[in-house]
Amino acid sequence: MAVAEPRPAETIDPITDAIGVLQWAHRRFGDRLCVTASFGDGVLAHLANAAVPGVEITLLDTGYLFAETEWYADDLAHRFDLNVRVIRPDADLDRNVWQTDPDACCAARKVEPLQRALRDRDAWVTGLRRSDSESRRRAPFVHDDLLKGVVKINPIAAWTDDHVAAYVERHEIPDHPLADRGYPSIGCWPCTRPVAEGDDQRAGRWADSDKTECGLHQV
Ligand code: SF4
């Protein structure tokens, strides 16, 4: 079998490549593709909808999203005609577990709802980027997520903050209302704090503990 030549560096464009990855994923998996977006920014939702118009975009609503995030997701859905599906946790969960056992809280409010969202899907698209944090530096573009039983696709894994800024400017995507208040990474309100200039983007997530991931991503 012939081995493809590596592409010349000047022909590699992570933004164009991400659209190509999403279109390949849709050709390969069709309606069995699940795109999740946390709406901390509008990039992945906009990009997925541009690559595959009308593609379903899943928001995992833990019950502890900032009110600003709920408003922002709704605003982007109307502005860009996004097809947003909201998945919520079991309504009977204890409301206070985040105070004593954040891992159990994430398991019940993020991981279990994601498992439900992926139940009838073969592939999962995420907005994970290598520049998010040290623990995500080696995130692949595509791999088998054996724990979840799906192919995991990270189309913007190689995007830098400059790629994000260029895409946002090109498509006039508004910022999350908390972005200019020191929140470069936005999760649940009990577990997200603003960060200082120059800090790791995810430094405000579970800032008082060793926890760095919610359990959705094994990176
Ligand atoms: S991030 Fe915090 S509030 Fe959100 S699910 Fe995890 S522990 Fe619960």
- The answer to whether residue 153 scores a pLDDT higher than 90 is yes
Residue 18 per-residue DSSP state: H
- The answer to whether residue 48 scores a pLDDT higher than 70 is yes
Cα-based distances in Å from 150 to 32, 119, 204, 219? 10, 10, 30, 15
What digits encode the pLDDT tens for the residues 72-107?
A: 999 999 999 999 999 999 999 999 999 999 999 999
Q: Which residue has the higher pLDDT, 132 or 68?
A: 68
* Cα 125 from Cα 123, distance rounded (Å): 7
* Cα 156 from Cα 135, distance rounded (Å): 16
Ligand 1 centroid–CA 205 distance in Å is: 10
What digits encode the pLDDT tens for the residues 182-201?
A: 999 999 999 999 998 888 88
Hey, which of 59, 61, 62, 210 would you mutate to test ligand 1's pocket, going by the most ligand atoms within 8 Å of its Cβ? 62
| Active-site residue (options: 34, 106, 188, 214) | 214
Q: Which atom of ligand 1 is nearest to the CA of 205?
A: 1
Residue 1: per-residue pLDDT: 58
214 is a catalytic site residue: yes
Residue 2: per-residue pLDDT: 64
- The answer to whether residue 134 scores a pLDDT higher than 90 is no
What is the reported pTM? 0.92
With a 6 A CB cut-off, is 105 part of the ligand 1 pocket? yes
Nearest CA to ligand 1 atom 5: 106
Percent of the chain clearing pLDDT 70 (strictly above): 97
Helix (H) or strand (E) holding 27: helix 14-29
Q: Which fold has domain 13-191?
A: Rossmann fold (3.40.50)
With a 6 A CB cut-off, is 187 part of the ligand 1 pocket? yes
- The answer to whether residue 219 scores a pLDDT higher than 80 is no
Percent of the chain clearing pLDDT 90 (strictly above): 78
